[in-house]
Amino acid sequence: MWIVFSGAGISQESGIPTFEERPDLRDVLTLDVWEQEPPLVWQTVWEMHRAVEAAEPNQAHLAIATAQWFVVTQNIDGLHQRAGTRSGDVLELHGDLRYAHCPQCGDGSQLAFLARRGVPKCGCGAIYKPNVVLYQEPVTRWRYVANLLNQACGVLVVGTSLTVNPAAALPGMAERRGIPVHVINEKASTQVPEFITWQTGISSAAGEMSHKDPSS
């Protein structure tokens, strides 16, 4: 199988800014800030959540979903799933913006069911924590990547500068196993569908049709 390794650049064309465009996020979404000022973290999370809700998957997301390739992503926006990639075929290394959990009792809730503003609290009285990996926290889901590469025949890297560890190590891990790596970091919505069609003969047209408004 092919594995897609995606970063913020694939969603940039959907209107979601990259972390390079929002350097302030690196100062807010940290474990230190969470422990000292959780309202500041939640203010930023709600801002990001609104941007994600307003975004739509682009042609790169749709082409990957149509090809049914497995996705390892650094993104927390859920656009791969919204494009049609099965949730079980997406490994979200840095968590997601769909859920929050209580660090005290373990209760979980979808962000859509919370107040969408302010600091949400669990019934036990503790503050919910967004289901994202903050800076200074370990990327625990990385341990699954090596097993995935053992099943891969190729890796398509899309929209990532490969500067954030441990994710930056993935292409090198693949190459050491003799797995071909193809990198697309510009015009993903055009180049990804073209690359997938060239590799598989599968056009993303069917995926595009399935996401059109039936009333149009």
Contact between 79 and 159 under an 8 Å Cβ cutoff? The reply is: no
Position 210 scores a pLDDT of: 45
Q: Is 98 helix (H, G, I), strand (E, B) or coil?
A: strand
Position 201 scores a pLDDT of: 81
Position 205 scores a pLDDT of: 58
| Alpha carbon distance 79, 53 (integer Å) | 10
Answer positive or negative: Cα dihedral of 155, 15, 39, 164: positive
Position 94 scores a pLDDT of: 95
Torsion angle, alpha carbons of 122, 142, 65, 12, to 10: 80
Using DSSP bridges, classify how beta strands 108-110 and 95-101 pair: parallel, antiparallel or unpaired.
antiparallel
17-54+95-132 and 1-15+57-94+141-211 share a CATH fold:
no
pLDDT tens-place values along the chain, 216 residues long: 899 999 999 999 999 988 778 888 889 999 999 999 999 999 999 999 999 999 999 999 999 999 999 999 999 999 999 999 999 999 999 999 999 999 999 999 999 888 667 899 999 999 999 999 999 999 999 989 989 999 999 999 999 988 778 888 888 999 999 999 999 999 999 999 999 999 988 776 544 544 444 443
Determine which one of 94, 101, 182, 211 is catalytic. 94
In sequence order, the β-bridge partners of residue 73 are 6, 92
Superfamily of domain 1-15+57-94+141-211: TPP-binding domain (3.40.50.1220)
Rounded to two decimals, the pTM is 0.89
Q: Is 196 helix (H, G, I), strand (E, B) or coil?
A: helix
Domain range summary for the chain, segments of one domain joined by + = 1-15+57-94+141-211, 17-54+95-132
Return the number of other C-beta atoms located less than 10 Å from residue 19's C-beta. 16
* Architecture (CATH level 2) of domain 17-54+95-132: 2-Layer Sandwich (3.30)
Position 15 scores a pLDDT of: 93
Position 24 scores a pLDDT of: 86
The reply to whether 80 belongs to the active site is no
